[in-house]
Amino acid sequence: MNNATLTKQRILTGDRPTGKMHIGHYIGSLKNRVELQHDYETFILIANIQALSDNFDNPGKVRASIEELLCDYYAVGIDFQNTRIYIQSEVSQVNEIFVYLSNFVTIQQLSHNPTIKTELKLRGFETSTPLGFFYYPIHQVADILCVNANLVPVGRDQAPMVEDSAEIARKFNNAYNVKVFNEPKPLFGMERNLVGTNGNEKMSKSLNNAIYLADTEEELKKKVFSVYTDPNRVRITDPGKIEGNVAFVYHDLFNSNTQEVEDLKARYQAGQVGDVEVKEKLFQAMNNYLAPIREKRYEAEKLKPELLAKSLEDSKYTSSVAQGVLDQMKSAMQIKFN
């Protein structure tokens, strides 16, 4: 590790490999990672163990999705030479760290975790919850603390996970009168999740309302022309609503021609433009925005073996970092004997 790296704070972020990434991931997290990757020592976790907690009966999906994530990272501009991208199952130390940290959390705390409650309902696990899924928030804490991260870029809906990490780190340090762990802080991207094409408050693979970074131009056009607008607007001459109108949410994010956007909004509210024109111009803007990413992703498809090999190298490096943290923990707990 060189001196420049030693002076940098650490970022830990990551994704569950359950499919390709969408524009909500890009706006909410990936874009931020690209901007920060040279200012921090950045670790990106591919959380395949956590993905198996609710996909245990479909390991092939999880395995294939690892390479899809690597392609998406490459496509958006993640620098594979300066960013540590590692696979969770290749860093065995995190599992032992998890066991020790679990002593600082109660079942009652986990039961009231807002993220867990939402995810249980979404996946239909409320009456029969796999244990691996129930305790995954503490495994996330172990992921963050195994590299002693300073910052964790997340969406606001994931803030409780970072708060839990800081609290558990503090409890461990206080229990053994040591300073093994930093107390990580969240680093937010968008104020809210990106809405799905159907108007749902969150774009999600499971809700089938996502535009993927890997979508072709034809797929993008089809999805753009299906986006939710104003359901109460019957005729072009009817005044339309901008609030909650997905077409205009996306225009604000992806259309760099702000004058065009404001003109469309004014005419839409006055009943002087139809959804077809609004969506046609949205498609043109989003296609221009996403085309460079799409092209790089085509390139990444041919580089899958190299990208995977690099992530395995990074996994070994991360394993050595986590071992250092684990050794400090075991010394503090008086269970390190050599």
pLDDT digits (tens, 9 = 90+) for 286-323: 999 999 999 999 999 999 999 999 999 999 999 999 99
Looking at the structure, tell me whether residues 172 and 224 fall in a common domain.
no
Looking at the structure, tell me whether residues 141 and 90 fall in a common domain.
yes
Nearest one of 192, 188, 155, 149 to 45, comparing CA atoms: 149
| Regions of the chain with pLDDT less than 70 | 1-7, 190-191
Residue with tokens 């300066």: 82
Does the global pTM surpass 0.85? yes
Beta strands at 10-15 and 41-46: parallel, antiparallel or unpaired? parallel
CATH of the domain at 230: 1.10.240.10
> Is 100 inside any structural domain?
yes
> Is 235 inside any structural domain?
yes
pLDDT of the residue at 228 = 94
Residue 248: CA atoms inside 13 Å, Cβ hemisphere, count?
20
Residue with tokens 């590299």: 147
DSSP 3-state assignment of 45? strand
pLDDT of the residue at 7 = 66
CB-based contact 255:282 (threshold 8 Å): yes
Looking at the structure, tell me whether residues 266 and 128 fall in a common domain.
no
Looking at the structure, tell me whether residues 188 and 310 fall in a common domain.
yes
- Domain count for the chain, please give it: 2
pLDDT of the residue at 300 = 97
Looking at the structure, tell me whether residues 43 and 177 fall in a common domain.
yes
DSSP 3-state assignment of 306? helix
pLDDT of the residue at 4 = 42
Looking at the structure, tell me whether residues 22 and 106 fall in a common domain.
yes
Give the Cα separation of 26 and 41 in Å (integer): 20
> Is 42 inside any structural domain?
yes
pLDDT of the residue at 123 = 78
> Is 50 inside any structural domain?
yes
Looking at the structure, tell me whether residues 287 and 309 fall in a common domain.
no
Looking at the structure, tell me whether residues 49 and 125 fall in a common domain.
yes
Give the Cα separation of 84 and 87 in Å (integer): 10
Looking at the structure, tell me whether residues 165 and 134 fall in a common domain.
yes
Looking at the structure, tell me whether residues 148 and 106 fall in a common domain.
yes
pLDDT of the residue at 191 = 64
Looking at the structure, tell me whether residues 126 and 157 fall in a common domain.
yes
> Is 207 inside any structural domain?
no
CATH of the domain at 171: 3.40.50.620
> Is 203 inside any structural domain?
no
Range of the domain at 288: 217-297
For residue 276, what is the DSSP state? H
> Is 82 inside any structural domain?
yes
Looking at the structure, tell me whether residues 274 and 188 fall in a common domain.
no
Give the Cα separation of 124 and 119 in Å (integer): 8
> Is 238 inside any structural domain?
yes
